[in-house]
């Protein structure tokens, strides 16, 4: 029975090596180990199983269902899974047919009205609304921020109560001197603001303080319901009854704006919930505050509002006092530390995995060639007399007295001691070109090696990974480069290996060796 390497299987089946490793990780397929046990190969049985998996995935069978099918190849189980998916497809087909029908109706109506002024109203046709009522949102729409899965028209109507903009924002209200009035009449709020308007007119307030602001809240006066309103005034302005001069301390507030015409006072609960769920702020019991723990800022007293021109644009800001929550901040910071720890652990795991791949890639070379290389390379470039094809490991020991030392193989290149003087400050990241495409990658790894000191350099160009090792330490490794998937050993042209010093620099070479992998 012929065994195939992971790259051979990936090329034959049209999948990536990363996908094969994933299927192996979740137990769908199993690899054998060749040589010292670190080189993946697959037998015919697992390759045939992979072909079945690919067919099922193309038929939109989920990985979870595939695991169930392969672990329990019972006809009844398989039929049940397929019937469930067929039902989902039938629902999707019906939905798409309904959408198509409705859109065609809209096209017909819009086409008929093309010669006159068009007034779009997609919600006036009862037949259309009845059809839309049966629809659910597609999977793509379910990825949006709102929880829209299987949303009915009734649910959408409930959502319309809430603002289309961000529910709240954090604002700072500055301290101010204020004139305060309280009304307990039946129309207490209207009466309080009527008094504020008269006060502003009597004192010519909008002229002497054009930035005046008005606030208010509901309160209890004994057993009576009332409204307390105030207006910001100059510090030296005297007030008389029924007004009282006072001070407003200001501070941080959560603010939620709503237009008067679509006002719903249940939204006071909405903003309280927003603060309750906020990860940094919490409610602050400081005064002044109303019985609903909410302060309102209205804009009835600006010249524009008083002119009567504002009309539908009048709006209210709901405000609730907030403060930094030490408890919430601690929880947030703890979550951030946990997340950072998880990311670090994942990075270490990925690094270890890549190190294992690098080790496996170079463990069993097919052939080793010692290269006759001059001891000193001071100008131009050195190209090996030998040519190579496919995956290789280039090993050399050298030193340089300058910058921008290049090793190249085919279209691939690695630049060490890179200094990009076009950047400020000069860039020193590792610079790599793909072996097949020649595409440049500026990777996040320091390319610096000591000058005038011999260093061991290994450039691994494997079927699964590219890596750079300096003095036996892994400087960089990745399985994300184009050539990992594009690399075809059978079609790769024979290429020499080149060493190129920068102009005016010298490279001393102790030895060079190439291992064909």
Q: Work out the average pLDDT over 482-497.
A: 56
Q: Work out the average pLDDT over 392-417.
A: 86
What pLDDT was estimated at residue 268? 65
The kind and range of the H/E element at 340 are helix 326-362
C-alpha to C-alpha distance for 514 and 337, rounded to whole angstroms:
45
Closest residue by Cα to residue 495 from 453, 454, 438, 441: 438
Query: Which DSSP string corresponds to 140-177?
Result: TGGGSSS--TT--HHHHHHHTTS-SS-S-EEEEEPPEE
Same domain, 254 and 210: yes
What pLDDT was estimated at residue 490? 40
Note whether residue 443 is domain-resident. yes
Of the pLDDT bands very low, low, confident and very high (cuts 50, 70, 90), residue 344 is low
Residue 417 reports pLDDT greater than 80: no
Of the pLDDT bands very low, low, confident and very high (cuts 50, 70, 90), residue 489 is very low
Same domain, 446 and 374: yes
Last residue of a domain, one of 71, 95, 124: 71
Same domain, 187 and 212: yes
Residues 6+ apart with CB under 8 A from 109: none
Task: Give the tens place of pLDDT for each residue, 52-73.
Answer: 888 888 888 888 888 888 888 7
Note whether residue 333 is domain-resident. no
What pLDDT was estimated at residue 426? 52
In the sheet with 32-34, reading across from the earlier edge strand, the strands are 4-5, 39-42, 32-34
Residue 159 reports pLDDT greater than 50: no
Residue 214 reports pLDDT greater than 50: yes
Closest residue by Cα to residue 125 from 91, 94, 102: 102
Note whether residue 351 is domain-resident. no
Same domain, 230 and 143: no
> According to the per-residue pLDDT averaged within each range, which of 250-264, 294-308, 419-433 is highest?
250-264
Q: What is this structure's pTM?
A: 0.39
What pLDDT was estimated at residue 179? 94
What pLDDT was estimated at residue 140? 39
Same domain, 150 and 276: no
What pLDDT was estimated at residue 239? 92
What pLDDT was estimated at residue 112? 65
Query: Which DSSP string corresponds to 48-112?
Result: HHHHHHHHHHHTT--HHHHHHHHH---HHHHHHHHHHHHHHHHHHHHHHHHHHHHHHHHHHHHHH
Q: Work out the average pLDDT over 352-381.
A: 81
Note whether residue 82 is domain-resident. yes
What percent of the chain is modeled with pLDDT above 70? Answer: 72
Task: Give the tens place of pLDDT for each residue, 285-316.
Answer: 887 878 778 888 877 665 545 554 444 446 77
Residues 6+ apart with CB under 8 A from 208: 234, 237
Q: Work out the average pLDDT over 467-487.
A: 70
What pLDDT was estimated at residue 232? 93
Cis before 425 (ω within 30): yes
Q: Work out the average pLDDT over 137-153.
A: 38
How many other CB atoms are found less than 10 A from the CB of residue 215? 22
Residue 510 reports pLDDT greater than 90: yes
Same domain, 382 and 497: yes
C-alpha to C-alpha distance for 68 and 27, rounded to whole angstroms:
11
Average model confidence (pLDDT) for the chain?
Answer: 76
Same domain, 152 and 204: no
How many other CB atoms are found less than 10 A from the CB of residue 222? 7
What pLDDT was estimated at residue 423? 60
Residues 6+ apart with CB under 8 A from 158: none
Last residue of a domain, one of 35, 54, 71: 71
Tell me how many degrees the CA angle 139-143-149 measures, rounded to the nearest 5: 60
Same domain, 217 and 147: no
How many other CB atoms are found less than 10 A from the CB of residue 239? 18
What pLDDT was estimated at residue 58? 84
- Contact assessment for residue 218 and residue 291, using Cβ atoms and an 8 Å cutoff: yes
Closest residue by Cα to residue 391 from 455, 476, 486: 486
C-alpha to C-alpha distance for 196 and 192, rounded to whole angstroms:
6
What pLDDT was estimated at residue 230? 92
What's the token pair of residue 332?
């947030």
What pLDDT was estimated at residue 243? 94
CATH of residue 19: 1.10.1660.10
Same domain, 67 and 194: no
CATH of residue 290: 3.20.80.10
Note whether residue 347 is domain-resident. no
**What are residue 429's phi and psi, to 5 degrees?**
-65, 155
Note whether residue 336 is domain-resident. no
Q: Is the C-alpha dihedral spanning 212, 218, 220, 223 positive or negative? A: positive
Higher pLDDT, 183 or 361: 183
> According to the per-residue pLDDT averaged within each range, which of 99-108, 251-260, 277-286 is highest?
277-286
C-alpha to C-alpha distance for 291 and 219, rounded to whole angstroms:
5
Residues 6+ apart with CB under 8 A from 67: 26, 27, 28
Note whether residue 332 is domain-resident. no
- Contact assessment for residue 469 and residue 454, using Cβ atoms and an 8 Å cutoff: no
Angle between helices 63-71 and 44-58 (to 10 degrees): 130
Task: Give the tens place of pLDDT for each residue, 160-189.
Answer: 443 444 568 888 999 999 999 999 887 788
Residues 6+ apart with CB under 8 A from 505: 378, 400, 401, 402, 403, 404, 405
Q: Work out the average pLDDT over 403-411.
A: 83
Note whether residue 343 is domain-resident. no
Last residue of a domain, one of 324, 354, 383: 324
Residues 6+ apart with CB under 8 A from 462: 357, 358, 361, 362, 391, 393, 517
Angle between helices 63-71 and 75-112 (to 10 degrees): 160
Domain housing 56: 4-71
Same domain, 178 and 315: yes
Same domain, 173 and 319: yes
Structural domain count of the chain: 4
Of the pLDDT bands very low, low, confident and very high (cuts 50, 70, 90), residue 512 is very high
C-alpha to C-alpha distance for 139 and 125, rounded to whole angstroms:
26
Q: Locate tokens 């010093």: which residue?
A: 501
Same domain, 456 and 378: yes
- Contact assessment for residue 415 and residue 405, using Cβ atoms and an 8 Å cutoff: yes
């Amino acid at each position: 029975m012929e065994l195939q390497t992971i790259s051979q299987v990936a090329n034959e089946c049209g999948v990536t090596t990363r996908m094969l490793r994933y299927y192996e990780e979740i137990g769908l397929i199993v690899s054998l180990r060749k040589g010292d046990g670190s080189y993946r190969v697959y037998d015919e049985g697992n390759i045939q199983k992979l072909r079945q998996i690919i067919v099922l995935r193309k038929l939109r069978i989920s990985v979870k269902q595939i695991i169930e099918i392969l672990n329990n190849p019972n006809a009844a189980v398989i039929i049940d899974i397929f019937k469930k998916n067929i039902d989902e497809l039938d629902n999707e087909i019906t939905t798409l047919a309904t959408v198509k029908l409705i859109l065609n109706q809209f096209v017909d109506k819009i086409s008929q009205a093309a010669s006159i002024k068009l007034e779009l109203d997609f919600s006036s046709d009862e037949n259309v609304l009845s059809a839309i009522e049966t629809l659910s949102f597609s999977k793509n729409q379910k990825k949006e921020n709102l929880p829209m899965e299987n949303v009915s028209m009734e649910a959408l109507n409930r959502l319309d109560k809430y603002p289309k903009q961000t529910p709240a924002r954090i604002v700072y209200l500055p301290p101010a001197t204020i004139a305060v009035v309280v009304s307990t009449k039946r129309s207490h709020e209207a009466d309080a603001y009527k008094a504020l308007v008269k006060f502003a007119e009597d004192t010519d307030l909008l002229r002497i303080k054009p930035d005046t602001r008005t606030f208010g809240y509901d309160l209890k006066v004994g057993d009576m319901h009332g409204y307390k309103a105030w207006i910001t005034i100059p510090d030296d302005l005297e007030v008389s009854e029924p007004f009282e001069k006072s001070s407003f301390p200001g501070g941080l507030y959560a603010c939620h704006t709503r237009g008067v015409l679509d006002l719903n006072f249940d939204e006071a609960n909405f903003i309280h919930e927003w603060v309750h769920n906020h990860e940094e702020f919490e409610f602050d019991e400081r005064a002044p505050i109303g019985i609903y723990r909410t302060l309102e800022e209205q804009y009835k007293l600006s010249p524009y509002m008083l002119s009567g021109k504002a009309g539908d644009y009048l709006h209210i800001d709901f405000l609730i006092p907030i403060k930094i929550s030490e408890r919430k901040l601690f929880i947030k910071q703890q979550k951030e530390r946990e997340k950072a720890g998880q990311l670090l652990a994942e990075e270490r795991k990925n690094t270890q995995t890549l190190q294992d791949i690098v080790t496996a890639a170079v463990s069993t070379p097919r052939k080793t060639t010692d290269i006759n290389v001059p001891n000193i390379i001071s100008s131009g470039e050195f190209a090996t007399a030998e040519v190579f094809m496919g995956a290789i490991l280039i090993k050399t020991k050298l030193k340089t007295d300058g910058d921008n030392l290049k090793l190249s193989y085919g279209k691939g290149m690695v630049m060490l001691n890179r200094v990009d003087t076009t950047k400020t400050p000069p860039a020193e990241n590792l610079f790599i070109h793909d072996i097949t495409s020649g595409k440049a990658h500026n990777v996040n790894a320091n390319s610096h090696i000591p000058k005038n000191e011999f260093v061991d350099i290994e450039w691994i160009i494997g079927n699964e990974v590219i890596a750079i090792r300096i003095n036996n330490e892994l400087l960089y490794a990745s399985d994300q480069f184009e050539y990992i998937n594009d690399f075809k050993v059978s079609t790769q042209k024979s290429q020499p290996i080149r060493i190129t010093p920068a102009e005016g620099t010298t490279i001393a070479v102790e030895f060079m060796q190439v291992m064909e992998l």
